[in-house]
Amino acid sequence: MAINKHLSINTLNVNGLNAPIKRHRVADWIKKAKPSIFCLQETHLRIKGTYRLKVRGWEKIFRANVQDKTAGIAILLSDKIGFKTKTIKKCKEGHYLMVKGSIQEEDITIVNIYAPNIGAPRYIQQILTDIKGEIDGNTIVVGDFNTPLTPMDRSSRQKTNKATEILKDTIEKLDLIDIFRTLHPKKSEFTFFSSAHGAFSRIDHIVGHKANLNKFKSIEIISSIFSDHYGMKLEINHRKRNEKKPTTWRLNNMLLKN
């Protein structure tokens, strides 16, 4: 298998996957986008319906589902990246899933979160606190946080509350960064429209370790026609730390002189 110099991670709240036609559309969307890793939230799949989600080329799928048609998350990994699984942790309520493994001998930890509508900042803050021993330079946290992290993440520019500030402080203490806001400090783009509040917000996030900031090539919000959320896509330069960049050999002109 060829060495991958590049990884892409997509995340999307799919707002339910029980309808066969929707699962088919999502599978087609994934195959066209060709991400290395795809994280889904709010799949609404029951435990007994876990294996209804299938995507050719992404055979390795990790899931956290519940008995009723609520919550539910999944992490799909492309066959092309040669992911080797080490550890899996998940909650019974289908809101949190962590997969640790390696891609071509380099460790990676993917944390997928679907935060509840009520108490979302506190919920995420508690998860990050509980797994802080698992977080390192190769950790990526994605998902529907149900929380705008800055006033720029709301069309109303409403200030963040105390619970969100505590969450942001926890993120900072773990040396994590909001990758979109770091790469686009002045851009206002949104992933969700609340009809109840008549406002747009960016509540879907990808958070990474600041030590890998130079590896985060690009991040963007991507449209979706089958969900009430937009997704996010992160491009990563996946070069191993001890791997040298290719150099061009040049003849030393001094060797041609007498």
Residue 250 lies in a domain: no
197: helix, coil or strand?
coil
How confident is the model over 235-253, as a mean pLDDT? 62
Catalytic pick from 205, 209, 229, 238?
Answer: 229
Radius of gyration of the chain (CA): 20
Q: How many domains does the chain have?
A: 1
Would 185 be classed as within a structural domain?
Answer: yes
Domain of 142 in residue numbering reads as 6-240
Positive/negative CA dihedral, 211, 213, 216, 219: positive
- For residue 54, is it within any domain? yes
Question: Is 80 among the domain residues?
Answer: yes
144 marked ligand binding residue = yes
- Read off the pLDDT band of 198 (50, 70, 90): confident
Residue 220 lies in a domain: yes
Confidence (pLDDT) at 51: 72
Is 252 a domain residue? no
One of 144, 153, 178, 204 is an active-site residue; which one?
Answer: 144
**229 included as an active-site residue:** yes
pLDDT confidence of residue 128? 98
If you count DSSP H runs as helices and E runs as strands, how many of each does the chain have, helices first?
Answer: 4, 14
Question: What are the residues whose beta carbons fall under 8 Å from the beta carbon of 152, sequence distance 6 or more?
Answer: 181, 186, 187, 188
Q: Tens digit of pLDDT for each residue in 71-97? A: 999 999 999 999 999 999 999 999 999
Catalytic-residue membership of 114: yes
Q: Is residue 70 part of a domain?
A: yes
Is residue 109 assigned to a domain?
yes
Predicted pLDDT of residue 68: 83
Residue 229, marked binder: yes
Q: Give the H/E segment covering residue 50.
A: none
Helix residue ranges, H only, the chain: 20-33, 120-130, 162-173, 179-183
Q: What number is the average pLDDT over the span 137-153?
A: 97
Domain CATH number, residue 118 = 3.60.10.10
Whether 204 is catalytic is no
| pLDDT for 208 | 98
Alpha-carbon distances, residue 123 vs 7, 13, 64 (angstroms): 29, 18, 17
